[in-house]
Amino acid sequence: MQASKELFMPNERVDSLWRNAHLATMVDQSRYGVIRNGAMAVAQGQIVWIGPDENIPSQVIEQASSVHDLKQAWVTPGLIDCHTHLVYAGSRSAEFEMRLNGATYEEIARAGGGILNTVHAVRAATEQSLRQESLPRLHAMQREGITTVEIKSGYGLNTENEIKMLKVARRLGRDTGITVCPTLLGAHALPPEFKDRPDDFIQRVVGEMLPAVAAAGLASAVDAFCERIAFTPEQVEKVLHAGLQQGLAVKLHAEQLSDQKGAILAARYGALSADHLEYLGDDGVKAMADSGTVAVLLPGAFYFLNETKKPPVNSLRAFGVPMAVSTDCNPGSSPTTSPLLMMNMACVLFGLTPSEALAGFTKNAARALGIQRDAGTLAAGKQADFAVWDIQEPAELAYTIGGNPCKLTVKAGKICYSTTNTVKGGTS
């Protein structure tokens, strides 16, 4: 593979040079975009040169402030978790036990458990306690190569507590250096104070919550749960329309438990992504293909809820719909922080190839968040977000169950996680 277009200028300082590595650039998804025995130069948080180690320009070597010998390790783009509910309080382990004793997810939700269980815990929590509970989850992701994460609200279900969650999400980004893309999921469930009044609650979301969040600059996207146990397509459409009016991008929980035609609705509004999609029909797949909407697959929830209906992966492939993969980190249906385990599940449970699974956490995940210009692949001009792995081939990232071969996580050229003694030449 040829080197990327060189952005290096002769008088520009190079902050760090990373060499003697195999690079899975993901520019070519089917073959991982591999550059064997490759190198990258970083300046001011960006990749300014990438290519075979033997072709490094002499001025890059001369001006590099630090040089890292990666000792034939593999490097991938920093992983991107494009669908999480990472900020929450409390535990739902009792409901897990109930499901194992025969109760369904819908039955638990209709009985006042499920999402509302976490809503009570979040409303009772302070910003500080929410941060303290959520920070270890983000650190765990960072240890597996995550450099960008989407964090949804949705456990406050009123303006005050949705804002509290989004503030905590922003704070977590500052605490860790990870890029946080916050999403307002105000229409996640019907709060108890609006019991049997879903239209009134949607009006509260549209008329009060969305404008307040947008005015405070706390979210980059709006989301909703389009499902029989949540909100109808007609109610959801009001939220999506209002979100666009407030300048927010659109995402949607769609077709998880039934085909409500949510994906078609999301596509009509130019959604970045439609997520879950187990019950997605061909009409929804075609609509997503026409609009460029990314399909976000969530194998953790599929596994944890013991579902049997799989998303239509072959149809998504046939129509050319990009497939992202995510942890869906949440307390009720996917209590995991492991992108590597989700890659394995995406392959074993849904039939993705290892390269598709890795693209699901890199290139396509970036598209699902609208950040593909800056992240998702290793290329000159992209932000220097990458992970360093002790593996023999990229397929190992989806192969091993329960292991973590991540040696370094690098964000904007800075090491933010290290197993120590992994590289030579200091840190940048």
Residue 212: what pLDDT? 98
Which residues are within 8 A (CB) of 360 and not within 5 positions of it... i.e. 6 or more apart?
297, 323, 324, 325, 326, 343, 346, 352
Q: DSSP secondary-structure letter at 205?
A: I
**With 80 as the cut, is the pLDDT of residue 7 above it?**
no
Residue 281: what pLDDT? 98
Q: Are 24 and 70 in contact (CB under 8 A)?
A: no
Nearest CA-CA partner of 211 in 246, 171, 167: 246
Nearest CA-CA partner of 388 in 147, 87, 185: 147
Distance between CA 219 and CA 222 in Å, rounded?
7
Domain residue spans of the chain? 14-77+376-418, 79-369
**With 80 as the cut, is the pLDDT of residue 366 above it?**
yes
**% of residues, the chain, pLDDT over 70:** 95
Distance between CA 46 and CA 50 in Å, rounded?
11
Query: How far from 216 is each of 185, 213, 370, CA to CA, in Å?
Result: 16, 5, 21
| pLDDT top residue among 91 and 422 | 91
Residues present in the chain in total? 428
Q: Is the pTM of this model over 0.75?
A: yes
Residue 420: what pLDDT? 74
Q: How many CB atoms lie within 10 A of CB 175?
A: 15
> For the residues of 249-280, what is the DSSP string, one character each?
EEEEEESSSS--SHHHHHHHTT-SEEEE-TT-
Question: Tens digits of per-residue pLDDT, 386-416?
Answer: 999 999 999 999 999 989 999 999 999 999 9
Over residues 287-305, mean pLDDT: 97
Distance between CA 340 and CA 361 in Å, rounded?
9
Residue 388: what pLDDT? 98
| Annotation: CATH topology of 14-77+376-418 | Urease, subunit C; domain 1 (2.30.40)
| pLDDT top residue among 201 and 421 | 201
Residue 354: what pLDDT? 97
Distance between CA 272 and CA 347 in Å, rounded?
23
Residue carrying the six token digits 């980059």: 220
**% of residues, the chain, pLDDT over 90:** 88
Mean pLDDT rounded to a whole number for the chain: 94
Question: Tens digits of per-residue pLDDT, 330-356?
Answer: 999 999 999 999 999 999 999 999 999
| pLDDT top residue among 100 and 148 | 148
Distance between CA 120 and CA 396 in Å, rounded?
41
Residue 108: what pLDDT? 83
Distance between CA 221 and CA 387 in Å, rounded?
26
Residue carrying the six token digits 């025969």: 102
Residue 29: what pLDDT? 76
| Annotation: CATH topology of 79-369 | TIM Barrel (3.20.20)
Question: Tens digits of per-residue pLDDT, 98-139?
Answer: 888 898 878 887 777 788 999 999 999 999 999 999 999 999
Residue 114: what pLDDT? 85
Over residues 308-328, mean pLDDT: 98
Distance between CA 273 and CA 322 in Å, rounded?
10
Distance between CA 320 and CA 314 in Å, rounded?
10
Residue 422: what pLDDT? 40
Residue 2: what pLDDT? 42
